[in-house]
Amino acid sequence: MADSSSNAAPPDPDKSAQPVSPESAVRMLREAMPPGPGGQDTLVHEAPPLLGRTLGQYRILGKIGQGGMGMVFKAEDLALKRLVALKVLWANPLDDPRIAERFIREARCLARLSHPNLLHVYNVGSEGDLRYFAMELLEGRTLAEALRQAPLKVPEALAMAGQLLSALDCVHRQGITHRDVKSGNIMLCDARAVLMDFGLAKEEHTSGLTSEGVVLGTPEYMAPEQADGRPCGPPTDLYSLGVVLFEALTGRVPFMGRSALSIIKQHLDEPPPTLASRLPGIDPRLDRILARCLAKDPKDRFADCPAMAVALLPLCQTPELLQLAGALGAGDTLAMDRNRPLRPTLPLSPGVAGAHASRKWFWLAATFVLVLLLGLVLVRALKRRPFPERGQVVRVESGPHRGQMLRWTFVSQGDDPTAWVHRVESLNPDGTWNAPRTLSHDDFRRTYPHLSLRQSEETVSP
């Protein structure tokens, strides 16, 4: 796992209401960020020798990555006998006490969040001048590393986007804006995409830890309001996610330049390139979705993660997108199992791929037997109780309504299932649902034979 924590702090919306010029933004970026790849800020001292040392209950085994104000190590939890990632702050807090505050705030932000596509924080501690927190150790590679080999295919990119939208929705519901969503902060572990590095995260209604007007972020992924020093919110993260999705599909970010200034100016003033200009033949609906993500005005973007999920749903029906779009009920969260690989799969790191392949056939056989047993239980259960009330969002695969996205509700008119009626809604191209229309059970079966044959398989509890 690579660490990309910034050594700069997030802006305070209350103190940065006045926009700044691109030139001022770049100047402040240079003051707040390391001078180029691998550069060190003046607040960061030479890293102390830590390999082999023990901090609290953690014995440091090796280096994983480093950022502007600290380093991430692979460590052994001596108490619980497990491997962890240990993030250690080595910047001297006497130079700027806000550095330690930001470090602890990152740990607290992560500790508040529980989601399969976010890191888990286990513990926070200090020893002497060193502060650290232990978190989940991930095996894989970052999206940035994967894209150096080849862009993702559309199904892979959309599956990843669904997971990241679900993770960001969890973050936003806690009143947190990530503010540094980028390919280098996304870890691909088997088929699981994990959003990392909350070093720039900003909570609502918290006091600022930076000087007035300081602009923080990564220029290639920075939303216009972030580059301008204005308040950030969920649309800010969705802008950055749009950049990530564009990069995942094409191999390049929308805006590139020789300097941070030229990149920021493009984010502020230039229309983004169309996806079709980099990827001919791409579905125009996906092009429109990315264009909305990259709108200059936050009000012109998707308001939140569920809104973007609804727009993506006609292109890809993953469990995360279905749940965000409201097609699944609050209790239908089996798809969010932390250890379950999702389909379509994401690129494996070379080291992890071999380990998984050796166990592949065993788990396939075990899964097959389990599915058979569950199927028998389900058939017996369905004989004892009525159909659930709400169907999943399903694409019609045959007949005159082929390609249409539908969801429906069963309304009981007695104990006889044949007396039930169906209130059917269809999905418009713009992501909105048409007003429901009522069909009798027989009319429903005649109109949508593909769905009626699979009612018992494709329904979920409300």
Active site includes 269? no
Distance CA 91, CA 97 (A): 10
Joined together, the tokens standing for residue 375 give: 């199927």
With 0-12 / 13-18 / 19 or more C-beta atoms within 10 angstroms meaning exposed / middle / buried, residue 145 is middle
At 50, list the tokens: 């830590």
> Which of these is catalytic: 96, 180, 190, 304?
180
Residue 47 contacts by C-beta under 8 Å, 6 or more apart in sequence?
A: 66, 71, 90
Active site residues: 180
